[in-house]
Structure 1
């Protein structure tokens, strides 16, 4: 479809302003991935599964994601649409698969934002407690939720005022958090003595068995989740190639940071300490630098989480705007702010839905466990979404694979291998979790529960798709996609 025009043929929607460069895309992607938060609170979960093979898990996870990202870069250049995979999968694999891809992405985005809102509340109150302000406990659900709501309001306001300004805030927050965590890891290298650094930590043969390798790789892949947000602002980028470069740069930077941090933690912490979430970056900082270190670490986690939420809101709002243009959602979702040029309705509604989930979790205590369980098991959904995206790239460009070898690799072989690998990983982990227990229980640690939840997210999209197709009669299901932009001419040798 033409950018800025709904597929229904109604009045055109105002177009985005093109103001973003590759640098802005890198910031958006890194903020969404939030590697410092993954190191701070996620490394322990991976360590409990992978042990000393954590660096190998990150390397194995980065390979298929990098392979798929090359295909995404080409898709963004040839079909620059802020709906990203929701649009690209429809072109290649049909509207039903495309719709479920978009549905899953929106659902996981909302669930993550509700979870991250709770994190901002916990980090804020924990930071106040470290500073001696103990009027409210970081363990008080109501106080945590209300504090998270305040942060959510500030994040929405920042996102509405423009992506360029939001990336300036994100750069500051990410920079501070990266400096703090990097300092802690460097100290871990200098003062740690739990184990000497070993090359075996980077070997895929370091895993005790194949199932552990697969599970650790999927969990590591989940920690890369968010790199594709660089593509959500393709319609606001001065060059359609900028998002592709930004996504790949963000993946490479994140991979290096994960390897660096995992190696430092393995060197400084004993296995039982490493696998304990309470012995993460905050307690390590406390060990090295006392209360000041713990306070700095909590501040780093808070800043990185706020930047992550901001990036998630930006990406989610643009996806729902694209759905509004296609008639999948109402046209009100497409409205841009007259002064700031941002998707005001989509941004506010995405945030309101996330807040609603947080409040529901507060009212019905067990629902909070469901949200946390979905976030913890979303690696399956991430693997499936990225896998389908890789396959969509190959199908889209299948008629162009007989040209240059580079094209055959970038949009053919590599996305195919990466996509198939991620689909298999997601499927095998679902099978592993399901067979790990002999009964289904409403428990965030029950393997069958952790398998049913992500599958339920997808299944709920089926009746929504049927209603959208046959009651709303969305153009997304009935009108063919617009032709791809022409392939760029090959650059003459020596030019």
Structure 2
């Protein structure tokens, strides 16, 4: 069929796409604000974020195996909870992840050319949109290279910190310098760095044997990411301490200097830019596929459902997403984009967990506690984010909900 995407991705490529989305700029940027919120409880906040991410990943994996189509939680919410909840999840994903795309693009610009960060960000969006346009296999190949570079840089940083004469294990001791609310806020900020595993599910229509591949790829990618994050956070805390980390503008480069590894600083800067490019690549893929799914159901203009006859990608959706993200990258503030994105992503996963709760034993549902804990965790973390992020995210979500009945009435008689 001309509008069907081609299944090309196996387990290794699916894992690498998930890693490319998760092991991105989040670990380079999220540690310092999380440390300001959680203090010496940073590792506890990381563990809490990982628990919520695990619940979300498990729910997403079971649903993706059952519904291996492009769109991720948009499809799961629609099929399990009704059209409105699917639409709301898709709206949260597209708006939140478009902001995240802009944040990743700005991170690239900040590290590569701080004086022209917005211009570099726009150029990065244009280049990666062009790459995605020519086919998902090339995107997977580039992701493999990016993940290898970033993991090598992070491994070198961890080794330098752990062998430094400035290491002080007392810095890992949990003190009384944080509140429970601060730990929750830190977990919400750190969750931003875990949120890429959904990219595997949103590419469900391009994965080989999705019932087997997706449930294997998502937990593997999440486990690798958690291991890397725990190692990096521990190493940075050992050389900077909670206060030094909280005050750091660029925590990983500051950690390299504190460890006496000045030679590593330019490599960390390059690694941060490459990681952000990897995240941006995977994000554009995911947003365009959700746009495709919503356009197929007429929640967005149906013209966006077109699949390129040669490259077998949703080319109109990709061009639109690229244009929106490029505009945001030219004008947006990095911190505001990250906070807004976090709220949208948590709302998206809340719907995924609610959908997973409806699965039956015959559908290989997860243990009931998993979607319950995931749903509760998403809601709690969303509403303990900084107030500006919560208010702006909730306002956009409510605006999407208000638009639904208008769009639904105008398309109710159209074939799906």
- TM-score of the pair, normalised by structure 2: 0.92
> What corresponds to 1:389 in structure 2?
352
Residue 412, structure 1, aligned to residue 368, structure 2:
yes
Residue 305, structure 1, aligned to residue 305, structure 2:
no
> What corresponds to 2:321 in structure 1?
350
SS where residue 417 of structure 1 aligns?
A: helix
Deviation at 1:350, TM superposition (A): 0.4
SS where residue 275 of structure 1 aligns?
A: helix
Deviation at 1:393, TM superposition (A): 0.9
Provide the aligned length of Structure 1 versus Structure 2.
Answer: 415
> What corresponds to 2:162 in structure 1?
189
- Identify the match of residue 178 of structure 1 among 128, 143, 151: 151
> What corresponds to 2:126 in structure 1?
153
In structure 1, distance between residues paired with 2:150 and 2:91: 32
SS where residue 195 of structure 2 aligns?
A: coil
Distance verdict in 2 for CA 1:199–1:114, change over 3 Å: closer
> What corresponds to 1:4 in structure 2?
none
In structure 1, distance between residues paired with 2:402 and 2:193: 30
Segment drifting more, 328-337 vs 344-353: 328-337
SS where residue 123 of structure 1 aligns?
A: helix
> What corresponds to 1:28 in structure 2?
17
Residue 452, structure 1, aligned to residue 391, structure 2:
yes
- Identify the match of residue 245 of structure 2 among 260, 268, 274: 274
Distance verdict in 2 for CA 1:180–1:78, change over 3 Å: same
In structure 1, distance between residues paired with 2:250 and 2:5: 45
In structure 1, distance between residues paired with 2:14 and 2:85: 27
Deviation at 1:239, TM superposition (A): 0.9
CA contact (8 A) 1:76 1:234 kept: yes
Deviation at 1:115, TM superposition (A): 2.2
Which string of whole-angstrom CA distances, capped at 9 and with x for unpartnered residues, describes residues 210-264 of structure 1?
A: 2223222222222211111111111111111212221111111111111111110
Deviation at 1:313, TM superposition (A): 0.7
Distance verdict in 2 for CA 1:162–1:221, change over 3 Å: same
- Identify the match of residue 372 of structure 1 among 335, 340, 358: 335
Distance verdict in 2 for CA 1:339–1:207, change over 3 Å: farther
Deviation at 1:349, TM superposition (A): 0.8
- Identify the match of residue 219 of structure 2 among 230, 235, 248: 248
In structure 2, distance between residues paired with 1:331 and 1:378: 26
SS where residue 329 of structure 1 aligns?
A: coil
In structure 2, distance between residues paired with 1:259 and 1:290: 21
> What corresponds to 2:58 in structure 1?
70
Q: Which has the higher contact order (CA 8 A, sep 6+)?
A: 2
Distance verdict in 2 for CA 1:318–1:244, change over 3 Å: same
Q: Give the unaligned 5+ runs of structure 2.
A: none
- TM-score of the pair, normalised by structure 1: 0.78
- Structural mapping, 1:85-484, within 5 Å: 85-125=73-113, 138-139=114-115, 143-193=116-166, 195-196=168-169, 200=173, 208-240=178-210, 241-288=212-259, 292-359=263-330, 361=331, 368-369=332-333, 372-395=335-358, 397=359, 400-401=360-361, 407=364, 410=366, 412-427=368-383, 429=384, 433=386, 447=387, 449-473=388-412
Distance verdict in 2 for CA 1:474–1:13, change over 3 Å: farther
CA contact (8 A) 2:239 2:258 kept: no
In structure 1, distance between residues paired with 2:227 and 2:183: 20
For the aligned residue pairs, the C-alpha RMSD in angstroms reads 2.4
Distance verdict in 2 for CA 1:206–1:161, change over 3 Å: farther
CA contact (8 A) 2:306 2:316 kept: yes
Which structure would you say has the larger Rg?
A: 1
